[in-house]
Copies of this chain bind each other. A is one copy, B any other.
Amino acid sequence: SSLRIAVIAGDGIGPEVIEQAIRAAEAAVQRYSPARLEWNRLPWSTAYYKKHGHMLPPDGWDLLREHDAILFGAVGDPSVPDRITVHELLLPMRRRFDQYVNLRPAYLFAGVPCPLVGKKPGEIDLLVFRENTEGEYAPVGGRLYPETPAEVAVQTALFTRRGCERIMRAAFEAARRRPRKKVTSITKSNALIWGMGLWDAVFEDVRRDYPDVQSHSLLVDAAAMDLVRKPETFDVIVASNLFGDILTDLSAAVTGSIGLASSANINPTREYPSMFEPVHGSAPDIAGRGIANPLAAILSAGLMLDHLGLSAAAEAIRQAVAAVLAEGKVRTPDLGGSHTTTDMGNAVVAALQG
């Protein structure tokens, strides 16, 4: 029997990098975790929207549910508001499929120029557990007296004890399996007393169940500072939707390139399919030029294989990416080179084939 993967390559550089991710996943599975992968390519994107008036067909969500996982490129295009592209596809997917764990690793690979002074390969090695279904991204708010001087907007963050607790437990469980066993919870309860007040209260309760894990709370402003001053002190970070968004782009920057930042949007109960996507987005500025770094997408495909139980293939992808970076012969522009997306994909496939 085969594993069914829905592929939404989407907009901009999405299709360019996803093609390489599929090639790498195929190469890895073939050699390390024999399994049949079935790639079901769905055309949902801004172009699709312009033709059909919706980002996905009415039965789109049902169709996705028939898959074992979703490999996602990016959505977003300057010609259509994010209110459509992002809010009709990406954000509702995270919520509908209850993908409440947004896992985003950041690792300083050998061969990757680090923008920080004196950091050694492997010295930055952290996992961010970003809450992915509620908090600041709750679709709650509105605008009153539009386009008049009296205009007011409200944007309401909604936190539930259950929502905070489940992402925190996921973070603690992961920390338990790592050598340093440390969890940092990101807060801002000194200003946002209600939402972050609940977040902190739940953290105090949850941490009591993990006496073997070192844990503490850190203000988001201090965390941003520490990611620059001493990123090596972080192991597992657990953060709300918005804080996780900001801190994962920052952790991508300090580990050398957003072109390496992978992510998994996981529904741990497996009631719904999980979704795997590079963090970089559609990058309209470089789209169509074949110069995007496909490693974030390839690493995301690796996270997907791991989720699907193909852990040898997943580990092989990570090793192949590490080897290609360490060798440093093939480098896309974001890494200071001038190789293409396909060159990079070829290098990883070659490394996987041995």
Task: Flag if A157 contacts B154 (CB, 8 Å).
Answer: yes
Could you tell me the distance between the alpha carbons of A85 and B20 in the complex, rounded to whole angstroms?
Answer: 54
A residues within 8 Å of B by Cβ?
76, 82-83, 86-87, 91, 113-117, 136-137, 139, 141-143, 147-162, 188-199, 201, 220-222, 224-226, 228-229, 241-242, 245-250, 252-254, 258
Q: Which 5 A-B pairs have the closest CB atoms?
A: A155-B195, A141-B194, A153-B198, A221-B249, A82-B190
Task: Select A157's contact among B116, B151, B157, B222, beta carbons within 8 Å.
Answer: B157
Could you tell me the distance between the alpha carbons of A220 and B247 in the complex, rounded to whole angstroms?
Answer: 10
Task: Flag if B250 contacts A250 (CB, 8 Å).
Answer: yes
Chain B residues positioned under 8 Å from A139 (CB to CB): 193
Instruction: Give chain B nearest CB distance to A266 CB in angstroms.
Output: 19
Could you tell me the distance between the alpha carbons of A76 and B225 in the complex, rounded to whole angstroms?
Answer: 19
Task: Flag if B246 contacts A229 (CB, 8 Å).
Answer: no
Name 15 extra pairs, CB < 8 A, besides A153-B197, A225-B252. A82-B190, A82-B193, A114-B117, A136-B192, A141-B193, A141-B194, A153-B159, A154-B156, A154-B159, A155-B196, A156-B157, A224-B249, A226-B253, A228-B254, A250-B250
Closest residue on chain B to residue A114 by CB atoms: B117
Task: Flag if B246 contacts A228 (CB, 8 Å).
Answer: no
Task: Flag if A86 contacts B191 (CB, 8 Å).
Answer: yes
Could you tell me the distance between the alpha carbons of A18 and B324 in the complex, rounded to whole angstroms?
Answer: 53
Closest residue on chain B to residue A76 by CB atoms: B190
Task: Flag if A194 contacts B249 (CB, 8 Å).
Answer: no
With A153-B159, A157-B156, A192-B136 in contact, is A143–B197 under 8 Å at CB?
yes
Chain B residues positioned under 8 Å from A253 (CB to CB): 224-226, 228-229
Task: Flag if B142 contacts A194 (CB, 8 Å).
Answer: yes
Could you tell me the distance between the alpha carbons of A201 and B147 in the complex, rounded to whole angstroms?
Answer: 9
Could you tell me the distance between the alpha carbons of A253 and B86 in the complex, rounded to whole angstroms?
Answer: 32
Could you tell me the distance between the alpha carbons of A253 and B228 in the complex, rounded to whole angstroms?
Answer: 7
Chain B residues positioned under 8 Å from A191 (CB to CB): 86, 91, 136-137, 241-242, 245
Chain B residues positioned under 8 Å from A147 (CB to CB): 201
